[in-house]
Amino acid sequence: MSNNPGIVLGCHLSAAKGFAAMGRTATSIGANTFAFFTRNPRGGNAKAIDKEDVAKLQAHMDANGFGKLVAHAPYTLNLCSAKPDVVDFARRAMAEDLQRMELLPHNYYNFHPGSHVGQGADAGIDLICAGLDQAYEPGMKTTVLLETMAGKGSEVGRTFEELARIMERCRCGNMLGVCLDTCHVWDGGYDIRENLEEVLSEFDRIIGLERLKALHLNDSKNPRGSHKDRHEKIGKGHLGIQAFEQVVCNPKLCDLPMILETPNELDGYAAEIDLLRRLHQEGVR
Ligand code: FE
Ligand code: FE
Ligand code: ZN
C-alpha cells in the first residue's frame, strides 16, 4: 500500500456560470483541478470579474485539496500574426488576462505560441517574445505556460527546440513553463507511445524537465507525425490506453496537473477521470 494522495486531474469546463460553479462542477465529476477559457475563445472582451465569486472558488479549492488550475487563453489569440491589429489584440488580451489571474494567484495560464503565417519561425518567435514581455509584468504570481503544438499549418512550438528558444529570448523567460499536450506532441512526431522515457529525456536536455508544469491528456484521431490536432477520447485513438497508463504512472509526470480536452460531455469526463485515477493507483502501488 502506498500513501500517495492521487493525481491532480480535471478537464476543460465552461466558464459560463462563473468561477465557483466551475469548482463545484469539477468536484462533482471527481476532478481536483480544471481548465477554463479566460474569455470567449473567439475573442472579444472579457466579462468583468466578480471578486466574491472568485473568493468562493478559492475557498472551495482549499477545502477540497485542489491542485493548480490551468487557465487557457483563447485559441484565436496569435502573438505572431502578420497583421498588426491581430498582434495588438493578442498583447492587450493577454495583459488583461494576466492581470485578472492575479485574483487567483499561483495558478497557470496556458497559451498557444501562435502561427507565424509564412513569416518564418524565427520572426514568429521574436514576435511571441515581444508580446510576452509586453503582457507580463514583473512580480505577477501566474506562471505562463507555452503549449506544445501539433505543427498544423505554420504553428510555432511543435518542437522542444522552438519552445526553448522562446524561453531563452524573452526577458520574462524565467517565468515561463510548458504544458505538454499528449495529442499535440504525438501529432508533432514525438513517440510518447513507444518511447515515453526517451521523449522526456529529450525534453529535459532541450528545455529542462523542471519547466514542465502541466499536461493536456488527449488521445489522437491520427497517426504520429500527422500534424492534424484532432483530439480523441482516452484509449480510443492512436495513442491507446497503455500510453496513458504510462503517463499517469510516470514519476516525472504524475505530480503535474493533468487536463482532459477530449470530445466528451461531463459524464464522459467523469468516466475518464475515474479510469485514469484507477490506472494511477494500480500502477504506483
Ligand atoms: Fe490548447
Ligand atoms: Fe491542449
Ligand atoms: Zn489540440
Tens of pLDDT along the chain (285 residues)?
Answer: 344 458 999 999 999 999 999 999 999 999 999 999 998 877 667 778 899 999 999 999 999 999 999 999 998 999 999 999 999 999 999 999 999 999 999 999 999 999 999 999 999 999 999 999 999 999 999 999 999 999 999 999 999 999 999 999 999 989 999 999 999 999 999 999 999 999 999 999 999 999 999 999 999 999 999 999 999 999 999 999 999 999 999 999 999 999 999 999 999 999 999 999 999 999 876
Domain count, the chain: 1
| Exposed e or buried b per residue across 155-175, where buried means at least 16 C-beta atoms within 10 angstroms of its C-beta | bbbbbbebbbbbbebbebbeb
Say how many Å lie between the CA of residue 165 and the centre of ligand 3: 22
Domain-located, residue 34:
yes
Q: What CATH number has the domain bearing residue 69?
A: 3.20.20.150
Say how many Å lie between the CA of residue 3 and the centre of ligand 2: 30
Nearest ligand to the CA of 112 is 1
Domain-located, residue 116:
yes
Domain-located, residue 4:
no
Q: How many CB atoms lie within 10 A of CB 83?
A: 10
Say how many Å lie between the CA of residue 112 and the centre of ligand 3: 10
Domain-located, residue 3:
no
Nearest ligand to the CA of 186 is 3
Nearest ligand to the CA of 230 is 3
Say how many Å lie between the CA of residue 216 and the centre of ligand 3: 9
Domain-located, residue 195:
yes
The rounded distance, in Å, linking the Cα atoms of 38 and 47 is 9
Closest CA to 10 of 27, 221, 245, 255: 27
Contact partners, residue 197, CB within 8 Å, separation at least 6: none
Domain-located, residue 1:
no
The rounded distance, in Å, linking the Cα atoms of 85 and 130 is 15
Give the pairing type, strands 219-220 and 258-260.
unpaired
Say how many Å lie between the CA of residue 181 and the centre of ligand 2: 5
pLDDT of residue 110: 98
Nearest ligand to the CA of 217 is 2
| Exposed e or buried b per residue across 219-237, where buried means at least 16 C-beta atoms within 10 angstroms of its C-beta | bbbbebebbebbbbbbbeb
Domain that holds residue 180: 9-283
Give CA 20 to chain center in angstroms: 21
Say how many Å lie between the CA of residue 187 and the centre of ligand 3: 10
